[in-house]
Amino acid sequence: MTTSPTPPQGLTVRPATLDDADAVCALLNEVDLLETGRADTDIALLQADLKHPDVDLERDSWLLFDGDLLVGYALVWDESGGERVNGDHYVLPGRPQGALHLLGLLEARATERAAANGAARAVVHLDLTTRPTLDMADLRARGWRTVRHYKVLERRISVDADPLPQAPPGVVLRPCLAEEDRRRAHALLQESFTEHFDHQPRTYAQWLDDIDAENVDWSLIWIAHVEGLGDVAAMRTRDNRASSAGWIGNLGVLAEARGRGIGSHLLRHAFGHYAALGRDRIGLGVDTDNSSGALALYERHGMTLDYAVDTWELIRPTA
């Protein structure tokens, strides 16, 4: 399906710049409120997306305006170097033609990027809440389909209910304050997520770009060491400035170390640490089809559904 280069009447489109970060963040939080009831987009994460080396803002980003009002934002980035390309799409309700126009621009650019990688097809992924402002019927009509379902879980925490836990025998946690530990955390997370859906291998340098290393608090990333086994797990967390909550970005345990309570200990450590920081809530996202038992682990520790997200996929030939 081709997209007209001309936006619908009354709307204009231009690429984003780094100077647009505040306005885009405000838009995304407005969409967050409509879709999930809470503004959760952190300006630091939005800035990291805009300055990511995998993104050429002039060609990979679009801002949609209704007069002077910013009403839409889309972004494309390529982590695979092959056929897999990712997209983001946010539009305020009431502008269906504008939403479709941005979607068409995203699709065309994603296909172009896959072609530049030498791929015969583009496999484009878009993560949307299960109640998006984008019309799902329009997505399906363009060939998009859902391929994965995720739950965003949350848990209330407090100093009284969530003290820092006693470590299991032989288990020691350490924060990633030294460069060698940061490299080790990267290696552990890469290995532990190898079999997960849509995992894209990333070098250490790429991972640093992905997590915006300049703005990372490395004291909030921990490695678990088990006597006799060595380093077997890592957990990356961050303090979400938008919602004043803790967020667990990744929790990975090597296959040979699972079943020893290490994941549980890391999880409870995060609860206790963020409670001590004064946070009253912590969240994470989990693939409901994850075969490692992560969803059951989180639910056993009192985490409950906040909202759900679907991964939508579009496959297009590049020639």
- Cα–Cα distance, 156 to 296 (Å, whole number): 18
Q: Is it the case that residue 3 has pLDDT exceeding 70?
A: no
Is the pLDDT at 132 greater than 80, yes or no? yes
CA 188 to chain centre: 19
- The pTM of the full predicted model, rounded to 2 decimals, is 0.92
CA 41/CA 185 separation, integer angstroms: 25
pLDDT tens-digit series, residues 64-119: 999 999 999 999 999 899 999 999 999 999 999 999 999 999 999 999 999 999 99
For residue 124, list its beta bridge partners: 85, 314
236-245 burial, b for 16+ CB within 10 Å, e for fewer?
A: bbbbbebbeb
Of the candidates 314, 312, 310, 316, the one whose C-alpha atom is nearest the C-alpha of residue 152 is 310
Both tokens of 272, joined, read 């206790």
> 128-144 burial by CB neighbour count: b if 16+ within 10 A, else e?
bbeebbbeeeebeeeeb
pLDDT of residue 289: 84
Judge contact between 21 and 44, C-beta under 8 A. no
Structure tokens at 16: 């984003």
Which whole-number Å values give the CA distances from 213 to 91, 95, 142, in the listed order? 29, 37, 37
Residue type, 282: I
The pLDDT score that the predictor gives to residue 292 is: 73
SS3 content of the chain, % helix, strand, coil (to 5): 35, 30, 35
Q: What is the pLDDT of residue 290?
A: 74
| Helix intervals (H) in 64-135 | 96-116
Q: How confident is the model at residue 242 (pLDDT cuts 50, 70, 90)?
A: confident
Whether 2 shows a pLDDT value over 70: the answer reads no
271 in Cβ contact with 86 (< 8 Å): no
The token pair at 159 is 């100093």
Q: How far apart are CA 16 and CA 269, in angstroms?
A: 39
* 29-56 residue pLDDT tens: 999 999 999 998 999 999 999 999 999 9
d(CA 283, CA 245) in angstroms, rounded, equals 8
How many other CB atoms are there within 10 angstroms of residue 11's CB atom? Answer: 18
* pLDDT surpassing 60 at residue 1: no
Task: Provide the strand spans (E) within the chain.
Answer: 11-14, 61-66, 69-77, 84-91, 121-129, 145-156, 171-175, 221-226, 230-240, 245-253, 281-287, 304-317
What is the token pair recorded at 169? Answer: 């025998």
pLDDT of res. 101: 97
pLDDT (mean) for 281-307: 92
> With 80 as the cut, is the pLDDT of residue 62 above it?
yes
Q: What is the mean pLDDT of residues 177-185?
A: 98
Residue with tokens 């995998």: 54
Tens digit of pLDDT for each residue in 259-281? 999 999 999 999 999 999 999 99
- How far apart CA 61 and CA 226 sit, in angstroms, is 45
Q: What is the pLDDT of residue 98?
A: 97
